[in-house]
Structure 1
Amino acid sequence: MNAAPITTSLREIDDLPSPRGLPLLGNLHQLPPATHHLTLERWAAELGTPYAFRFGTTPVTVWNDIELSHAVMRERPHRYRRYAPIENILKEFGCNGLFSIEGAAWEPQRRLVMQALSIPHIKAFYPTLAAITERLRRRWEAAAREGRVVDMTDDLKRFTVDVTSALAFGEDPNTLENERVLIQEQLAMLLPMLMARVNAPFAYWHYVKFPRDRKFDQALIDVHRHIRELMARARARMREEAAAEACATPLGDTAHAPRNLLEAMLALRDTPDSGITDDEVAANVLTMLVAGEETTATSIAWALLFLGSDDALQARVAASARGVLGDSAVCPSYGAMRELDLCEAVCTEASRLHPVAPYLSFEPLEEVRLQGVRLPAGTKMFMLNRPAMMDPNNYADPEQYDPDRWLHDHRHESASERGAHEPRAYLQFGAGPRVCPGRHLAAVEMRLVVSMLTANFTAQLATNPADIREVCTFTAVPSEMPMRLAVR
């Protein structure tokens, strides 16, 4: 008699463990927007993964497997896409740029952004980046001499808006010195509203506008007016420079070489049959502004939680920074910046414990079978980031804040000497074809700001560290980061 074939039963989404919910609402009432990511992590610890919860009647599967996360991201954008409600809402905002756009439109835009954020381009931009860092230093010096508490998160967002605008668009709004520039305040409204609308049980704003919605709509109008003015000024500069080049070399090639991302996008847009519209250029401008402002500023802010409450660590980082900066207030060159590994490590380790992106969200474009679960096309998938970064199999003493685990010398110790260290478990910049194109710029900004701060000031938290909470506004930001600075 032949043995019966061994079969593995395939589970459906309804077979997965799930927190108890309510009819029609599902688990919405258990997911406060500001802390829902913490609830998702708690359910993962209680139920195991994968599990499923429900936004109203829509099931969402939740996963905690680093290899699966990498596999899904490798197969974007051809087999998986970002969570569709994100793209739908960003289209309404006029912000469906490289971060959220799907399909054939992604690749040509990706090439332009990667070129604008390439290492050679950032190296050439370094003097401007250092000048903006010096501007931030002067702002903090004035606050220190006046004894004012500094809202570090706000100042860091001003810094990153100035950097992103100068690098990508060729214009510096100087929000650090011009308090009345509203663009930073208006941009700060976008991600919280995105989170609120993505998680809303239905698109209520299509039918009724609350005061918050009306305020946001006006901010969007103002931001888009600002972007169109940026585009118009860039086109005018391109025409003037092309005309000047034509006069200088009447028989030569007079094509104007784009100097920044905005000029490159406009040049492509104005190429016959490009298939790119002004609206798509504007969407990418807005995407760059929001992404450049939020994620890097938040990573640095979380590092300040640890630097501002550990005098010994701050003294060590200060000594390391001053050894590189010499007599300069700001790191003097791109080459010297590359020696500031510890300054980046304090940010990386802070965002391991407080991930700026607590989870990544995807949908399969076709039916897939993952870990014995059948997922129809369009199934919502949340991939939790923090549990893998808190797993002792991935990082030794994971509860301990230890920047040294990211330093070059430490990484090259034997496994028995340093314990577990799995860089693949750190997914703050994503992975695969759609890995964050701004990761190198973010690293440079972290090194510049942390070295400038610690070399020139002593910084102490102006509140109890235990009172600083994670607040999810699409990214997980600190509820506050007030600090008192003193000039060294």
Structure 2
Amino acid sequence: MSTASEVRGSVREVADLPSPHGVPILGNALQLKPARAHLILEEWAREFGTPYRFQICSTSLTVWDDSELLQSILRERPYGYRRYSTIESTIAEMGSCGLFSAEGEAWAPQRKLVMQAMTASHIKAFYPKMAVITERLRLRWQRAAQNHQVVEMNDDLKRYTVDVTSALAFGEDPNTLEQDGNVIQEHLKLIFPMIMSRINAPFPYWRYVELPRDRRLSRALVEVHKYVRTLMARARERNRDRPHQEPENLLDAMLQIRDAPGSDITDDDVAGNVLTMLLAGEDTTAHSIAWAMLYLGTDDALQRRVADVSLRVLGEGGVCPSYEALKGLDLCEAVCTEASRFRPVVALHAIESLKEAEHHGIRMPAGSKMFFLTRPAMLDSNKFEHPERFNPERWMHDRTPGRGAHETRAYLQFGAGPRVCPGRHLSTVEMRLVISMLSASFFARLAVDPNSIQEVSAFTMVPNTMPMRLEMRPA
């Protein structure tokens, strides 16, 4: 008997793809637990191969692991493809209509605006403040080491990145590292997990009834939006005293455009981008560094190599002495990059097509929803020599056989194409600062069995915990 695809010829339809068994009406919705979404999709990829499809109620979604295809699709954003539309509506509902979720014609002006704060020259000028915040983190960890306290790296690193992002983009340092209790980071950390949960919900139940977690989110959003509007009010007050001065940070630039005669930018647009910056700066970089600490804290030889490099650059200081000296800390960034190869913070790219296309002989109608798994390509022996080995040095030289070869096009943690992450340079500077400071000042040991560290899908892929014991290195 001929199959449907044979009758139609060589081009297959989405319906022809293999799929996990589901249940009537809901499809696979009950199987796809939000906190384990990436792991479940990876497991199905091993079972069915890629591409395959799964069903959420009446919606079919396809899953792919082709990094070259993803590269080409990302280059066609935002006009040929867009992020999964549910992401935009979910984030907009929370009051964060910023660069991350903007699509189509709304994207380009916001991109230009945000990039003003993220240029290498701006970050270089900001470096002394970053060094001060990094020293603040070092002193916090020094107190923990002296008191024999276990440090929850997830929490401390998010405090650090909130302080850096706020100071760079908004001209205010909230100093969450020296506060305990009701700090802005406590509210921010509730948002990404709920975005993930709502994106995967079969229907928007929260519009009709709020569960306890929805009420917690509502309270957190009230506090976060109050914080954002306060930032804006203080920035306007500062700018009134210096009306002809060039903007000193992203918020000043946005408000200058917002308040110009004839502007079609609103306060809500500004607030959405402020919240987007806080969320992006707080979450992705912090967890990239946290995953790196899993490998540093369980490998003494690796930690010694990183410490030797860091001590040469830092000398007697506890923090990298200058922006120019960062170039000697390639190994520190490479540790984070290699950790992200095994533990990708961006484990999934959710894409929606705006036009009909054919990929791998499969017809994808306009509006097709595609999930791209990032980890399989980064563990592929055709792209990485001995992919099972944790070898950060592979990122410190050209892709040469016999030297831990790596395929940079398979590494998509910052995206690609026109919408590549605008904060990638800031992120790598933070990686070099924190890893060098940690390894130069402390011996770090994971405080739990590494097998107990779980991967959690909370929009990005995060460790459920990262407790470390720190000991001071001898002076």
TM-score by length of 2: 0.97
RMSD: 1.1
- How much has 1:229 moved relative to structure 2? 0.7
Partners of 1:381 and 1:272 in 2: CA distance? 42
- How much has 1:432 moved relative to structure 2? 0.2
| Number of the residue aligned with 2:433 | 448
Report SS of the residue matched to 2:201: coil
Q: In the alignment, residue 152 of structure 1 is paired with which amino acid?
A: M
- Flag the 1:178–1:256 CA change in 2: closer, same or farther, 3 A: same
| Number of the residue aligned with 1:372 | 361
| Number of the residue aligned with 1:197 | 198
1:148 matched to 2:149? The reply is yes
Partners of 1:240 and 1:174 in 2: CA distance? 25
Q: Among residues 444, 449, 473, which one is paired with 1:464 in the alignment?
A: 449
Report SS of the residue matched to 2:377: helix
CA deviations over 1:162-212 (Å, ceiling 9, x no partner):
000000000010000011342101000000000111111100011001111
1:76 matched to 2:92? The reply is no
Contact 2:394 2:404 in 1 (8 A): no
| Number of the residue aligned with 2:418 | 433
- How much has 1:441 moved relative to structure 2? 0.3
CA deviations over 1:59-88 (Å, ceiling 9, x no partner):
111111111101110000011010000000
Q: Which runs of 5+ in 1 are unaligned?
A: 1-6, 243-254
Report SS of the residue matched to 2:176: coil
Q: Which runs of 4+ in 1 moved over 4 A?
A: none
CA deviations over 1:77-100 (Å, ceiling 9, x no partner):
011010000000011001121111
Partners of 1:8 and 1:331 in 2: CA distance? 62
Aligned residues: 466
Partners of 2:124 and 2:346 in 1: CA distance? 27
| Number of the residue aligned with 1:404 | 393
- How much has 1:319 moved relative to structure 2? 0.9
CA deviations over 1:6-56 (Å, ceiling 9, x no partner):
x95221111111111111111122222111211111111221111100112
| Number of the residue aligned with 1:247 | none
Contact 2:393 2:404 in 1 (8 A): no
Partners of 1:309 and 1:271 in 2: CA distance? 54
Partners of 1:8 and 1:325 in 2: CA distance? 64
CA deviations over 1:442-469 (Å, ceiling 9, x no partner):
0000000000000000011110011111
Partners of 1:436 and 1:427 in 2: CA distance? 10
Q: Among residues 258, 261, 285, which one is paired with 2:274 in the alignment?
A: 285
- Write the mapping of 1:250-289 to structure 2, written as runs, cut at 5 A: 255-289=244-278
1:483 matched to 2:471? The reply is no
Q: In the alignment, residue 55 of structure 2 is paired with which amino acid?
A: R
Contact 1:353 1:389 in 2 (8 A): yes
Report SS of the residue matched to 2:30: helix
Partners of 1:384 and 1:229 in 2: CA distance? 39
Aligned residues with identical type, % of pairs: 61
Q: Which runs of 5+ in 2 are unaligned?
A: 1-7
Contact 1:24 1:56 in 2 (8 A): yes
TM-score by length of 1: 0.94
- How much has 1:272 moved relative to structure 2? 2.2
With 374-383 and 145-154 compared, the bigger mean Cα shift is at: 374-383
Partners of 2:72 and 2:85 in 1: CA distance? 19
- How much has 1:109 moved relative to structure 2? 0.9
| Number of the residue aligned with 2:236 | 235
Q: In the alignment, residue 419 of structure 2 is paired with which amino acid?
A: R
Report SS of the residue matched to 1:52: strand
With 337-346 and 427-436 compared, the bigger mean Cα shift is at: 337-346
Report SS of the residue matched to 1:360: strand
Q: In the alignment, residue 275 of structure 2 is paired with which amino acid?
A: L
Report SS of the residue matched to 2:242: helix
- Write the mapping of 1:205-220 to structure 2, written as runs, cut at 5 A: 205-220=206-221
| Number of the residue aligned with 1:101 | 102
Partners of 2:377 and 2:333 in 1: CA distance? 21
Contact 1:392 1:420 in 2 (8 A): no
Contact 2:82 2:352 in 1 (8 A): yes
Partners of 2:207 and 2:403 in 1: CA distance? 55
